[in-house]
Chain A
C-alpha cells in the first residue's frame, strides 16, 4: 500500500516536471538563442551552443536609424509608471467614496461602475479616438495615461471597494474621536492598511499597461514615441525574418521588467489571483 502511494507520488512529480519543462522550453530556447550567433540559431532545436555572442543585443538595440531601444524603454516606462501612480490614487479615491462615504446617487454610480468592468473597450473606442484626435493628443502619451488619471480601470475600483469594506469601521470612528476628518481617514487609516490591494493594483496595472499593444498601436504612430512592443513590431516590418537573433534579443529584454516585477512581488501576485480572481 505504502509503496504504491510512493510510486504514484513520484510519477506525479515526474509528470509535473516533464510537462512544465515542455511548456517553458520555447521561452528558454528563445533566451539562449538570443546569445547564439545568427547562423547557429536554427541549426538545432537545442538550447546549448558551441559559441555564444552579444551581437544580437547590440544589433537589435539599434533597430532603426536615429532611434534605439533605449528610447522605446524610456517611453514604455514613462507610460507604465504614470499609469500605476494614477490608478493607485484615483481608483482608491473612488473606492473610498463607495466603501465609506454616504452621498446622493451612490447606488446609481456604483451600478455604473460595475457595468463598466465587463464592457469591452471597443464600445467606446471610436469616439474616444475622435476625442483624443480633436485634442491633438495622437502621438503623445496622453491618450494612454489620462484615462488612468480618470480612474477608467473600474476593475481596480471594485477590488479596492471589497478590500476597504474589510477594514474595521471602529478604526474610522476612533480616528474621528482623535479629530481626523474625512480626508485624514483616507490618508492615515485606509491607505496604510490597504497596502496588499494597492500592490496588486500596481503590479497588474504595470503589466497590463506595458503589454497594452492595442492602445499603443492606435495612438503612437511616430518612431520616437514608440513603446517596446511597437519597437519589436518594427522588426517584422522592416528587416524581414533574416534577423531572428536580434528579434529574440530585444524580445527577451522586453520581458525583463514584467518578469522582475513578478519575482519581486510573487507572493502578492499568486495570493492576489487566488483571492480576487484577477488574471495575468
Chain B
C-alpha cells in the first residue's frame, strides 16, 4: 500500500518535472521567436489586413480613410495609365523571363564541362547579376542607349545610324529587357548546380546508343533539369513582376516616353507616394498579389505535365 503510494508520488513528481521542463522549453522557444513574431504580426500580418481594408477606401495618409466600396477597382479598369502599366509589366515578364532563362541554360550547358578556367568564366558571367540591381548600372544603361551613347557609337563604327533608344516609345522597354537578360548569371549558376546532379551513366548510355547531341539535350538534359527550370521560373517570375529601380532611373521616374516604361510598381509608387492616393495604391498592390498568386499556382499545377522528378513526383 505504502509502496505504491510512494511510487505514485514519484511518478507525479517525475511528470511534473517533465511538465516543468516542457514549459521551460515553450517559454524559451517563444523568447527566441519573439522578434520574428512581433515583426510578423506588426509589420506583415497587420499591414496586410489593413492594406486590404484600405483598398476599399479613399485615403491620403493624413485624413481618416473613407469607405468607397469597389470604386478603386472599377476606376483601375478605366484608367489608361493603369492599363498601360499592366501591359508593360506583363510584356516584360513574358519576354524577359524566358529570354533570361534560355540564355542562362545555354551558357550553363557550355560551362558544364571539365575545362581550364571554368571558375573564372563562372564568376565573369555571374558579375552582371551582382551589379545589375544597382542604381549605378541603371544609370550606365541609360547612358549606353542615349542618342550619343556607347551603343550608337559602336553602331556608327559599322555605318549604322542609331537613334535615341531610351526616348523612343517603341524601344525604351526593350533596353530594360536587355538589362534584365544581361543578368542571367544567377540563374546560370543554379542551372550549373542542377547539371552536376545528372548521372553521368545516362550520357554514357546515350553515347553507346549513338544519340546525337540535340537528342541527348532534349531527351536527357532537359527532362532531368526540369525541376531546376521550374525553380528558376518561379523565382524569376516573382522578381521580374516587381521590377522598379531600372525603370525608375531610366525613365527618370516618369515611366515615359508615352508610358512605355511605366512598370506596374512604378505606377503604384507614383499613385501612392507622389499623388498620395493610398487607397488606390493599396488596391493596385492587391491586384499584383492576386495576379502573381494565380500565375504561381498555374506554374505549380502545370508542373506535373512537364517537371520530371527522379523519385516519381514527390516534392
In the bound complex, how far is the Cα of B10 from the Cα of A144, in angstroms?
A: 55
A207 in the interface (beta carbon within 8 A): yes
- Name the contact of A218 in the complex, choosing from B135, B141, B273 (C-beta under 8 A): B273
A-B contacts counted at CB < 8 A amount to 261
CB distance from A201 to the nearest CB of B (A): 14
A233–B186 touching, CB < 8 Å = no
A254 in the interface (beta carbon within 8 A): yes
In the bound complex, how far is the Cα of B115 from the Cα of A42, in angstroms?
A: 39
**Contact flag A124-B33 (CB < 8 Å), given A23-B128, A213-B245, A270-B123:** no
B25–A103 touching, CB < 8 Å = yes
B143 in the interface (beta carbon within 8 A): yes
Residues of A in contact, count (CB < 8 Å): 91
B129 in the interface (beta carbon within 8 A): yes
In the bound complex, how far is the Cα of B111 from the Cα of A214, in angstroms?
A: 35
CB neighbours of B40 from chain A (8 A): 109, 112-113, 116, 152
The stretch among B1-9, B66-74, B214-222, B236-244 that forms the contact with chain A is B236-244
CB distance from B114 to the nearest CB of A (A): 10
CB neighbours of A112 from chain B (8 A): 40, 45
B48–A103 touching, CB < 8 Å = no
The stretch among A48-56, A191-199, A244-252 that forms the contact with chain B is A244-252
B256 in the interface (beta carbon within 8 A): no
From residue 183 to 211 of chain A, which have CB atoms closer than 8 A to chain B? 183, 186, 207-208, 210-211
In the bound complex, how far is the Cα of B137 from the Cα of A214, in angstroms?
A: 15
- Given contact pairs A119-B44, A277-B235, A279-B239, a sample of 7 additional A-B residue pairs in the complex whose CB atoms are under 8 Å apart: A19-B107, A97-B30, A116-B44, A128-B47, A183-B28, A258-B130, A279-B186
11 contacts between A and B (CB under 8 A): A26-B144, A27-B140, A93-B33, A103-B33, A122-B265, A125-B272, A126-B54, A213-B248, A232-B136, A241-B146, A279-B235
B-to-A contact residues, CB < 8 Å: 22, 24-26, 28-30, 32-33, 35-40, 42-48, 50-51, 54, 59, 61, 107, 110-111, 113, 115-117, 121-137, 139-141, 143-144, 146, 148, 150, 153-154, 157, 182-183, 185-187, 189-190, 192-193, 231, 235, 238-239, 241-242, 244-245, 248-249, 252, 265, 268-269, 272-273, 278, 281-282, 284-286, 288-289, 292, 296
